[in-house]
Amino acid sequence: MAYIWRGMQGTIRKDLRSMLGKLILPVLVGLFLSAYGGFSYLAERENEAYQQKMNLQLAKSIRQQIENIENLTFQFIANFELNKTLDHYIDSLELYQIAPFNSVFSAFLESQTRSHPLLRDAAFFDLNEPKRKALTMSDNLTQSILLELRSSPSFHSIRDRDGRFFLDSETVFPLNGKKSLLAGRLIKKIDGVREIGILLLLLRIERLSEMLNSDLYVDGEPMESSVGNYFSILVSSSGTILASPLKGHVGRKIQEVFQTPWQSPPDTQNDKVFEGEWKDQKIYLRSCSLEGMPIFLLEVSTLPPLGHRNLSMLFAGILLIGIGSFQLKNLKEKDLFSFDEEASKQFEKLPPREREILLLLAQGYSNKEIAYQLRLREQTVKNYLHSLYSKLGIHDRVSAALFVNKLKRNTL
């Protein structure tokens, strides 16, 4: 009988382990998900903080390049020889013979291209005599281009600013297949009394884009086929794309290209995230302002910010832990052995010998093995089985094993 009892204890322990396993599994899975999601979130947050730092440094570098251009324009006021040359240029009786003045103007600007890589070309216009031929940095500025520049909104905006530097962040000017930004200053005589003319500079947009996406450029040209799920662009306050590794984007509106809302003027707070769509997939655009300038650096990515997927895993894990813990906390012993009371009564009504045979049968013993254990003949065991089958309303050994699994432990 002790042997039979140990077998029954093994059956009950198996049921207990199965029940506990089902309850503990959500806790274990929850722990794994929350740990994985949490650590991934922290790692991604650290990576994102690094990327934000890099974006701020990029914005600072671009701002510094533009400030260098601003300082360059100031040289035409502060540099006595330059200022004197321009003053003599507008006083000259010759409207077209400007070679002596142009050589000084051009030589100075050419000497500045190494320290001012944004500078593509430049022109200087007599403010009071529109017929006077403009000074140019290179021969690329033909007469038709000069006329277009003189009549542009940028020219008039520069004139209206009374000597202050002006960067036109809303105009993209095409020049010989290249796109440029326009900037300049109203130049006055060094004593500040007399207005001399308008200095207008053309800035390299492709240089700005290369600064933002250096890994996508080879020999100064963007590898557009390599543009994947992450790149950076410059956008004006009205949403005009000023620089992008994808040349076709420059000059177009961000609302059109990326199907994203854009405020005018946008929120100046850094790290503002816009959602949009590009190439039939969802994208995220994170803004970073160039302090003091109407230009914004935007990080374009197909990856959601700050690990939304990892956060979802973290919260799912916490939820599973909570569910599993609640179930374990409220689990009672009777819940583990909520067996059929009727089955217990039927078992108690069986004669002792039939109980023994039933328990051995439930443990998988054959008729011959049961006969050996109880020192009975095999035919006698068969007779007992036939009897208990009839009493319990079962028909085979599997049904007998299932019946035993319903019994409460306190019945034994």
- Please tell me which residue, 273 or 407, carries the higher pLDDT value: 273
Domains and CATH numbers, the chain: 2-30+314-411 (1.10.10.10), 79-204 (3.30.450.20), 213-306 (3.30.450.20)
Helix (H) or strand (E) holding 172: strand 166-175
Q: How many percent of the chain have pLDDT more than 90?
A: 32
Please report which helix (H) or strand (E) contains residue 25, including its range: helix 2-78
Q: Which has more pLDDT, 7 or 54?
A: 54
Spatial distance between the Cα atoms of 269 and 135, rounded to a whole number of angstroms: 42
Q: Which of 26-30, 95-99, 281-285, 349-353 has the lowest mean pLDDT?
A: 26-30
**Does residue 406 have a pLDDT over 80?**
no
What is the identity of the amino acid at 360?
L
Radius of gyration of the chain (CA): 43
pLDDT (0 to 100) of residue 310 = 57
**Spatial separation of the C-alpha atoms in residues 4 and 12, rounded to whole Å:** 13
**What are the backbone dihedrals phi and psi of residue 223, each rounded to the nearest 5 degrees, phi first?**
-90, 85
pLDDT digits (tens, 9 = 90+) for 83-113: 999 999 999 999 999 999 999 999 999 999 9
In order of 32, 191, 220, 287, 398, the CA distances from 185 in angstroms are 62, 16, 29, 29, 97
H or E stretch including 204? strand 195-204
How much is the mean pLDDT over the chain? 80
Strands in 119-126's sheet, in edge-to-edge order, are 135-136, 119-126, 195-204, 178-188, 166-175
| Residue of 196, 163, 203, 159 whose CA lies nearest to 181 | 203
Task: For tokens 């790149």, name the residue.
Answer: 231
**Runs of H (alpha helix) within 92-236:** 99-110, 143-150, 153-160, 205-212
pLDDT in tens, 23-35: 566 666 656 666 6
Q: Which of 244-253, 320-329, 363-372 has the lowest mean pLDDT?
A: 320-329
Within a 10 A sphere around the Cβ of 242, how many other Cβ atoms?
Answer: 23
Q: Is the pLDDT of residue 211 over 50?
A: yes
More reliable by pLDDT, 67 or 397: 67
Mean per-residue pLDDT, 337-351: 70
Q: Can you tell me the distance from the alpha carbon of 232 to that of 62, in angstroms, rounded to the nearest whole number?
A: 13
For residue 26, say if its preceding peptide bond is cis, omega within 30 degrees of 0.
Answer: no
The pTM for the full model equals: 0.65
Span 119-161, pLDDT tens digits: 999 999 998 899 999 999 999 999 999 999 999 999 999 999 9
pLDDT digits (tens, 9 = 90+) for 245-255: 888 899 999 88
The separation between the first and the last C-alpha atoms of the chain, rounded to the nearest angstrom, is 11
Closest listed residue to residue 79, CA positions, set 179, 199, 182, 220? 199
* Dist CA 201 CA 149 (whole Å): 10
Q: Which residue, chain included where needed, has tokens 């984007």?
A: 249
Nearest to 239, CA basis, from 172, 308, 320 = 172
Q: Is the pLDDT of residue 18 over 50?
A: yes
Return the structure tokens found at 219.
């020999």
**pLDDT on residue 270:** 56
